[in-house]
Amino acid sequence: MISPARFATGMTFDEYVRYTGTPENLAREAGSWRGIERRDFSGVLRAWYTRVQLSPVQMDAIRWLVAQPGGPARVLVISEEWSSDCRRDVPALARLAEAGGLELRIFPRDGRKLGRGPRANPDESPTADIVNALLNEKDGQTFQSVPVAAFFTRDWRCLYRHVEFPAIYHKERLYTAMQVPRPGESREQAWERFLGDWLALQLSPFFLLWASATIDEILSALHERIIVGAATGQGG
C-alpha cells in the first residue's frame, strides 16, 4: 500500500508542528467553519501535546502489542491542523508512538487548495497517492476524512486504520444541537455564539476524554487484529 521510501518522506511530529506555523502552510486553504484562511496552530499543537498523556494501562498495552509477532512498528498519519479532530488526536498519536517506539510520519492531506470531493486530485495534492489509499469509506461512498492513522507491521502490512474520531464522540449530533438558535437569537448571532461554544468544548475535559478514547479504540483494534490474525493464520 505505502512503500518504505514514500513513508520516509513524511514529517515527524516535531517537524509537522513547526511546518504548521510556516508561511508555506499558512498560505494553503483551510476547511474550518471560520473560513479558508489558516491560523497558526503550532502553539496549540505543542500545548495539547503537553496536556495529553497516556495512562499507565495504555502505555503497557502499546508496548505489549509492539512486542508481539506481527505487531505494529510504524504509524502513518494524514492531518490538517485546521481540523479540531487533528489538533486533538495527532498529539495523542505522537504520545502513543513514543510510548511504543513506533516510527511516526505525518502527511498533510491537501496542496494549496482545500481537498474536496470523494477522492484527492493528484494535480492539486502532492499526497493524493497516500490519501486515496486510505480514504474513509461509508455507505458506499468515499471521503477525504482527517485525521487518518494507519498502523503497519515491520514488513509493511497494514494492521489497522483509524479515521476521524472515536465512536463515543457523536460530533454531528453535538454541533447540530449547538447551532440551533436560542430564543431571541438571529441566525448570525447563533452562529457566532456557536463558534465560541465550540472553542470552549475543545478546551473542556471532554476533548481529553475523546483523545483518550481514540487511543483506547486503536489499542483494542490492534489487539484484535493480532489475536484474530494469529488464530486464522492471516497475521493481521
In the chain, what are the domains? 4-232 (3.40.30.10)
The pTM assigned to this predicted structure is: 0.95
Given a cut of 80, whether residue 231 has pLDDT beyond it is: no
Cell numbers linked to 105: 510520519
CA angle 213, 67, 215 (to 5 degrees): 5
Question: Which residues, including other chains, have CB under 8 Å from residue 236's CB and lie 6 or more apart?
Answer: 70, 153, 157, 158, 159, 225, 226, 229
Cα–Cα distance, 226 to 224 (Å, whole number): 5
For residue 49, the model assigns a pLDDT of 98
For the chain, the first-to-last Cα distance in angstroms comes to 15
Question: Could you tell me which of 78, 1, 16 has the C-alpha nearest to residue 46?
Answer: 16
Q: How confident is the model at residue 229 (pLDDT cuts 50, 70, 90)?
A: confident
Query: Residue 235's pLDDT band (boundaries 50, 70, 90)?
Result: very low
Task: Say if residue 108 is preceded by a cis peptide, omega within 30 of 0.
Answer: no
